[in-house]
């Protein structure tokens, strides 16, 4: 899913991304091979440079690069690419008022094994 978004690129918002998709440009590879006539020449060049960097960072498995650039609501796209490096973390508390809360359980799942740390 990561290669199907352009929202991490400068000057690309939801409307421009939707235009890409309407024009049949749905992946980074599509964009690199398309003339993108609706963009200004300087923006096309910037986009191509940033997409080349995106491909390089993905090859390096640099999840933090994309996490820093993607809007928070779009970070779910990272999971499919970086699942082997991800963990699910659950922290349970007593649910009391601020300052009185105590952590009771921390659970971690790495895709293979679940570990619980109980207080």
pLDDT tens digits along 75-105: 999 988 998 888 889 999 998 888 888 999 9
Q: Is the pLDDT of residue 112 over 90?
A: no
Average pLDDT, integer, range 18-37? 97
Edge-to-edge strand order for the sheet containing 103-109? 88-93, 103-109, 114-118
pLDDT tens digits along 9-26: 999 999 999 999 999 999
pLDDT score at 97: 86
| CA pair distance 13, 11, nearest whole angstrom | 6
pLDDT score at 99: 85
| CA pair distance 46, 40, nearest whole angstrom | 10
Q: Is the pLDDT of residue 60 over 90?
A: yes
Residue percentage of the chain with pLDDT more than 70:
100
pLDDT score at 111: 81
Q: Please state the domain extents for the chain.
A: 2-82, 87-118
């Amino acid at each position: 899913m990561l290669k199907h978004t352009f929202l991490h690129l400068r000057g690309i918002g939801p409307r421009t991304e939707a235009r890409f998709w309407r024009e049949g440009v749905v992946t980074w590879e599509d964009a690199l091979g398309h003339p993108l006539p609706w963009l200004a020449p300087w923006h096309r060049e910037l986009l191509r440079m940033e997409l080349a960097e995106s491909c390089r960072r993905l090859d390096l498995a640099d999840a933090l690069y994309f996490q820093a650039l993607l809007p928070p609501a779009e970070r779910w796209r990272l999971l499919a690419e970086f699942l082997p490096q991800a963990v699910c973390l659950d922290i349970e508390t007593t649910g009391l008022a601020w300052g009185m809360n105590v952590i009771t359980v921390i659970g971690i799942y790495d895709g293979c094994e679940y570990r619980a740390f109980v207080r």
